Amino acid sequence: MTRRRGGWCYEMNGLMDWALREIGFKVTRMAGGVMRAAVGDGVIGNHLILNVDLDRSYLADVGFGDGLIEPIPIEPGRHKQKFLTFALEDIGQGWWRFHNDPNGGAASFDFRMEPATEAALDEKCTWLQSDASSPFVLNAVVQRHLPDSLVMMRGRTLKTMTGEVTTREIASPDDYVDTLNRVFGLDLPEARNLWPKVEARHKLLFG
């Protein structure tokens, strides 16, 4: 917190789960599978989400970087939140699919309305943090919601969403560090050391 760092789903939704329980809400931790639609069941547990029991079940998710701003009922339908559009779909056999905004990063995640297996979450969390093939190890990603925009930096690409989408390519190590500071409020001069890996990954993906 003191370094103005957010976290990822296990940390942010984990903290939200604790806070909601502390003030009296009934919360169920559920295992999501980001991009299950494309790659299958092996991704189940790579995203922690929350089911909050109010007048009905609500999906609460503060850990999907370019996802929901507010909770939504776990019912089929489309949702407009500021300049972002999401949808929730019942895809059968107990599975639900959250469709991200078309201009977002990951297109979707799937989940079932049942408590997560904590051991499986722990195993997947460890893999995502440490395995050489993990997308979180391979890619440098920073995202920030602002009052009138959403900004995301993935590798060398800075994307700003305001209803319209603008992108620019980060030009140099100095530009990278300056963008982290100016746009995301992160004073990380040591991030200059990441630049060779960021540049190499960009070349691998985009030529």
Q: Mean of the pLDDT values across residues 187-206?
A: 94
Per-residue confidence (pLDDT) for residue 80, from 0 to 100: 97
Domains 9-129 and 139-206 share a fold: yes
CATH of domain 9-129: 3.30.2140.20
pLDDT at 4 over 70: no
Taking only the tens place, the pLDDT of each residue in 104-158 is 989 999 999 999 999 999 999 999 999 999 999 999 999 999 999 999 999 999 9
Per-residue confidence (pLDDT) for residue 202, from 0 to 100: 93
Q: How confident is the model at residue 3 (pLDDT cuts 50, 70, 90)?
A: low
Q: Where are the domains of the chain?
A: 9-129, 139-206
Q: Write the CA distances from 28 to 11, 75, 179, integer angstroms.
A: 16, 16, 37
Taking only the tens place, the pLDDT of each residue in 41-89 is 999 999 999 999 999 999 999 999 899 999 999 999 999 999 999 999 9
pLDDT at 207 over 90: no
Q: Does domain 139-206 have CATH number 3.30.2140.10?
A: yes
